[in-house]
């Protein structure tokens, strides 16, 4: 192998599964993707620091994103089709420990039918301008997404993941 090929293999960045060029091509259909997501719970895998997490999109277009941690804690975000406006931090139980408004642009998302694109200064620094989450499954969702139900959703998800983990291990 010649030295240039070796150098190229070592330092070439892997092409993301959804490139910026592909996002530009999809941009005219963003409203269609969001309408597709309404009334659904999206089970999403990645970015790596979140692993599996859930996006709930209600019929009115409100979005909640819930990330559970193995230690029994959770983070939840409420927003709209563009991103989060409010963040909730839960301790075990789940017990609400903190709640705060988020400035626009802190945590943004774009919902497609196969990926969620996340960006904003909320995330760790990276060479990439965005993080991708792959939609692993969808489920019907008919409840409203609002602040009053966020604790219920966190509890429901802890139970749902426990039940599915037990089934996998049986």
Q: Break the chain into its structural domains and give their ranges.
A: 14-169
Task: Give the pLDDT confidence score for residue 14 in this predicted structure.
Answer: 63
**The pLDDT of residue 124:** 75
Q: Residues with Cβ < 8 Å from 167, sequence gap 6 or more?
A: none
Can you tell me whether residue 35 is helix, strand or coil?
helix
Helix (H) or strand (E) holding 111: strand 108-111
Given this model, what pLDDT does residue 11 score?
58
Residue 22: the pLDDT is 92
What pLDDT, on a 0 to 100 scale, did the predictor assign at position 5? 53
pLDDT of residue 148: 81
User: What is the reported pLDDT for 121?
Assistant: 86
With 0-12 / 13-18 / 19 or more C-beta atoms within 10 angstroms meaning exposed / middle / buried, residue 39 is: middle
Say what the pLDDT of residue 20 is: 86
Mean pLDDT by 10 residues, the chain (170 residues): 52 71 92 96 88 92 92 91 95 89 94 94 79 94 86 87 73
Residue 145 neighbours by CB under 8 Å, 6+ apart: 56, 57, 58, 60, 62, 63, 64, 78
Per DSSP, the three-state class of 47 is coil
């Amino acid at each position: 192998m010649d030295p240039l090929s070796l150098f190229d293999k070592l330092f070439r960045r892997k092409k993301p599964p959804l490139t910026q060029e592909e996002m530009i091509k999809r941009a005219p259909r963003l409203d269609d993707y969001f309408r597709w997501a309404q009334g659904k719970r999206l089970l999403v895998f990645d970015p790596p620091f979140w692993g599996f997490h859930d996006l709930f999109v209600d019929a009115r277009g409100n979005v909640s994103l819930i990330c559970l941690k193995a230690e029994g804690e959770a983070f939840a975000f409420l927003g709209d089709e563009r991103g989060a406006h409010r963040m909730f931090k839960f301790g075990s139980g789940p017990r609400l420990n903190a709640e705060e408004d988020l400035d626009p642009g802190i945590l943004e998302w774009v919902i497609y039918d196969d990926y969620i694109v996340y960006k904003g200064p909320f995330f760790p620094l990276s060479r990439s301008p965005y993080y991708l989450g792959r939609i692993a499954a969808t489920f019907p969702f008919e409840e409203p997404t609002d602040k009053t139900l966020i604790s219920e959703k966190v509890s429901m998800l802890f139970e749902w993941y426990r039940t599915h983990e037990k089934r996998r291990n049986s």
